Amino acid sequence: MSDTTRQELLERVKEQSVAFINLQFTDILGMVKTVTIPIEELPDALDHGVWFDGSSIEGFARMVESDMYLVPDPSTYSLIPWDQHAGLSTARFICNIYTPDGTPFTADPRHVLTSVLGQAAELGYGFHVAPELEFFLFHRDGVQQTTPLPHDNASYFDVSTDQATLIRRQMVRALRGMGIVTEAAHHEVAAGQHEIDLRVTEALRAADHTVTARVALKAIAQINGLYATFMPKPLATVNGNGMHVHQSLVDLATGQNVFFDPDDPYGLSPIARHFIAGLLAHARGMCVILAPLVNSYKRLVPGFEAPIYISWGRTNRSALVRVPRITNGRNQSTRIELRCPDPSCNPYLAYAVMLAAGLDGIKRKLSLREAAEEDLFHIDPRARGLAMLPSSLGAALDALREDEVIQAAIGPNVYERFVDAKQLEWESYRSYVSQWELERYLPIF
């Protein structure tokens, strides 16, 4: 950090009467962790970092290698809009994690994404993404939220029955206060379900914004006496929460979108087609990173606008990868949309594996099969030779174990710890006797 940047930050926090600083990072599962320091400790934190015990963080380190330290990223400084009180205002930095010898911690999800972005940069590409965050607003039922009771009975784009219009506006304003620009906010299909779309930006910044948005939306909901959840499928009979991710590559030398080709029927360049082919080739292997919960696979089922088959198209919203139409003259907006991720994922790891899959398609010049434009839920996909996404967390873990490209993208440390954590989750779920089983089987067997 330059002396100028350091001094500007110290002057800024003084002008804003900041009393506390939250130093934020995520574990490998994407859960936000925070160390809070008084403002008087900020100069030392900027100069030397802040030590913490990594053995207590999910997937970080074993007891014998627990010491590590947080280094604030100056570009992520922001006031926390909902935590402003007279004389007690709080700001935050997102941090990178280092080991005692001064090297980046390889299991830091932010480092994982930075590493894959470096590989793209070596090929001359920058990676831009824009996530669409879906979530439910439920009435609160106490300290432990266990009863999913929707806040309203509205549906897609409804106005008169949408009781959360003002709450979404508060959310958008809070995000803007933290430097996050939203493109749209609206009610989604299911009762109590909403969507906020973040503007496209460079992938590392987009991952920071995604993590921040999840925290912000929960905080604003709580202020309004509600509970916001990004659980993929909290209600069995309605649509689940997805996180469709729009993505594109840009030429680092010119800043131009390299996905566009005016002579292609879909407006896609050969690079874009190779990129999509890479996503499809590694869809099964990266699925557990993009949809990481047992519950995620109850969203990826027929009939609820979520993809099941590994396919691509434009008008087909049952496809895994969709190519949105662009307005004439806005060629820089050419992008592709991956529809299987859900908002419970770790965005640093998710964006890293998406990019790695696409780059593998480019490096190997993978060919892209014909688009599937018909509704795949109403035909026999086997007739088209379409493979399926994993149908369970266990199957998704097996697919990751077979995909060396995705394993390399997240690195051996994250791979080992992530698979261990998710295998325990899967085994715990498999041994659990649910209410559904008791109601179905106990009376008759």
DSSP 225: T
Catalytic residue among 6, 140, 317, 384: 317
Q: What are phi and psi of 312, to 5 degrees?
A: -140, 160
- Residue 132: active-site member: yes
Catalytic residue among 27, 110, 128, 134: 134
- Residue 173: active-site member: no
Task: Write the DSSP assignment of 279-314 as a string of letters.
Answer: HHHTHHHHHHHHS-SGGGGGTSSTTSS---B--EES
Q: What are phi and psi of 188, to 5 degrees?
A: -95, -170
Residue from 307, 299, 303, 262 nearest 280 by CA: 307
Enclosing H/E stretch for 358: helix 347-363
Task: Write the DSSP assignment of 113-150 as a string of letters.
Answer: HHHHHHHHHHTTEEEEEEEEEEEEEEE--SSS-----B
- Residue 339: active-site member: yes
Rounded distance, CA 120 to CA 407, Å? 17
Rounded distance, CA 405 to CA 116, Å? 11
Rounded distance, CA 177 to CA 370, Å? 44
Catalytic residue among 187, 194, 244, 273: 244
Catalytic residue among 339, 342, 360, 417: 339
Contact 95, 104 (CB under 8 A): no
DSSP H helical segments within 148-202, as ranges?
165-177
Per the DSSP assignment, residues forming a β-bridge with 33 are 25
Catalytic residue among 8, 11, 44, 53: 53
Matching residue, tokens 């493979």: 387
Alpha-carbon 77 to chain mean position: 20
Rounded distance, CA 229 to CA 218, Å? 7
- Residue 317: active-site member: yes
Catalytic residue among 27, 108, 337, 342: 337
Residue from 172, 174, 217 nearest 199 by CA: 172
Catalytic residue among 27, 162, 195, 360: 195
Per the DSSP assignment, residues forming a β-bridge with 51 are 69
User: Which region, left, alpha or beta, applies to residue 279 given φ > 0 means left and ψ of -120 to 50 means alpha?
Assistant: alpha
- Residue 337: active-site member: yes
- Residue 134: active-site member: yes
Burial class (CB in 10 A: 0-12, 13-18, 19+), 219: middle
By annotation, the residues acting in catalysis are 53, 132, 134, 188, 195, 244, 317, 337, 339
